[in-house]
């Protein structure tokens, strides 16, 4: 990390809880490699305080932008001045850039990062049947990315079926031929993805019934800490291949840095 001075641009990650985040380590490394005079710090922000914090960051001239994670990806959208077309369709953002005039602009990179992480590990989702647990901000982004990547069908489960139907209505605009279903059983799917926050805390229930898991399936997480979540442990015990959450971040670090304009002067 560069020495912090009065010229240093400050970036943040907004989350609750915050101890599990890995973006500061990754993006501080990227900025050091690029020769950027900047630093990313974690900000523990409760849902009730998000609007207040965003207003403060907007007025902070040395603030360059933020990474946004659980539980703020959807809630932050109406607090921004503009979002990309992709973020508008998904209904969530995970990166926010502060423009010189104080405007806040949002982008969603989770889906691209998740698919990039899968492919980097040798798992191409094209032609696979996919089961997705969750219909929040990250889940929406991953659903669109899996559809774009060419999965042959997509099953989604969420405690609130109306959120799944809303996701499906938006997916059908871009992918009208993709078979979509609401379901609770991951059996019969090639790829099973936990896109919820269940697994962050030791007392969390599993996001799906592991009885439906078996040999031949790939079970993937978006949770980065712990690296081996209870779901991944249960999946491995049933003979599944597993894919942890960290590759999703690694797959989008450069995208995040570029969107946040983390570059040295003259580059």
CA 161 to chain centre: 21
Q: What percent of the chain has pLDDT over 90?
A: 96
Q: Which residue has the higher pLDDT, 1 or 137?
A: 137
Q: Average the pLDDT over 215-242 and give the result.
A: 96
Token output for 194:
């936990």
Q: C-alpha angle with apex 25: 23 to 30, nearest 5 degrees?
A: 90
Token output for 63:
């603030």
For residue 155, pLDDT beyond 60: yes
For residue 267, pLDDT beyond 80: no
- For residue 206, name the pLDDT band (cuts at 50, 70, 90): very high
pLDDT of residue 263: 87
Closest CA to 251 of 67, 134, 111: 111
Torsion-angle region of 215 (φ positive above 0: left; ψ -120 to 50: alpha; else: beta): beta
Q: Is the dihedral of CA 76, 117, 42, 256 positive or negative?
A: negative
For residue 176, pLDDT beyond 90: yes
For residue 217, pLDDT beyond 80: yes
pLDDT of residue 266: 59
Q: Look up 228 and say whether it is catalytic.
A: no
pLDDT of residue 2: 67
pLDDT in tens, 30-49: 999 999 999 999 999 999 99
What lies within 8 Å, CB to CB, of 161 at 6+ separation is 182
For residue 1, pLDDT beyond 90: no
Closest CA to 23 of 265, 267, 260, 264: 260
* Spatial distance between the Cα atoms of 102 and 91, rounded to a whole number of angstroms: 22
* Spatial distance between the Cα atoms of 253 and 96, rounded to a whole number of angstroms: 14
Q: Which residue has the higher pLDDT, 267 or 224?
A: 224
pLDDT in tens, 80-136: 999 999 999 999 999 999 999 999 999 999 999 999 999 999 999 999 999 999 999
Q: Average the pLDDT over 155-171 and give the result.
A: 96
Q: Average the pLDDT over 220-224 and give the result.
A: 96
- Catalytic one among 73, 97, 163, 175? 73
Asked whether 156 and 143 are in contact (CB, 8 A), the reply is yes
Q: E strand or H helix at 234, and its extent?
A: helix 230-237
CA 29 to chain centre: 20
Cis peptide before 30 (omega within 30 of 0): no
- 3-state percent breakdown (helix, strand, coil) of the chain, nearest 5: 35, 20, 45
Rounded mean pLDDT of the chain? 95
- For residue 170, name the pLDDT band (cuts at 50, 70, 90): very high
pLDDT of residue 213: 97
- Please give the C-alpha separations between residue 17 and each of 54, 57, 71, 227, 238, in angstroms, as whole numbers: 17, 19, 9, 16, 30
For residue 205, pLDDT beyond 60: yes
According to DSSP, residue 243 is labeled E
């Amino acid at each position: 990390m560069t020495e912090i001075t009065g010229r240093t641009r400050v970036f943040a990650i907004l989350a609750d809880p915050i101890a599990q985040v890995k973006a500061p380590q990754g993006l501080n490394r990227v900025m050091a490699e690029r020769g950027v005079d900047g630093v990313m710090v974690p900000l523990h922000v409760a849902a009730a305080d998000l609007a207040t914090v965003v207003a403060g960051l907007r007025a902070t001239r040395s603030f360059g932008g933020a990474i946004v994670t659980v539980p703020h990806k959807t809630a932050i959208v109406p607090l921004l001045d503009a979002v990309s077309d992709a973020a508008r369709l998904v209904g969530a953002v995970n990166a926010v850039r502060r423009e010189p005039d104080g405007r806040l602009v949002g982008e969603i990179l989770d889906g691209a990062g998740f698919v990039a992480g899968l492919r980097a590990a040798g798992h191409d989702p094209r032609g696979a049947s996919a089961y997705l647990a969750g219909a929040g901000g990250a889940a929406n982004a991953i659903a669109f990315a899996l559809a774009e990547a060419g999965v042959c069908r997509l099953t989604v489960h969420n405690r609130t079926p109306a959120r799944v139907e809303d996701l499906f209505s938006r997916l059908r605009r871009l992918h009208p031929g993709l078979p979509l279903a609401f379901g609770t059983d991951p059996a019969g799917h090639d790829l099973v993805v936990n896109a919820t926050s269940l697994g962050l805390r030791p007392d969390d229930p599993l996001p799906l019934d592991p009885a439906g898991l078996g040999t031949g399936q790939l079970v993937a997480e978006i949770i980065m800490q712990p690296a081996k979540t209870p779901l991944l442990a249960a999946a491995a015990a049933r003979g599944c291949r597993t894919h942890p959450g960290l590759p999703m971040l690694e797959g989008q670090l450069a995208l995040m840095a570029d969107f946040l304009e983390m570059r040295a002067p003259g580059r």
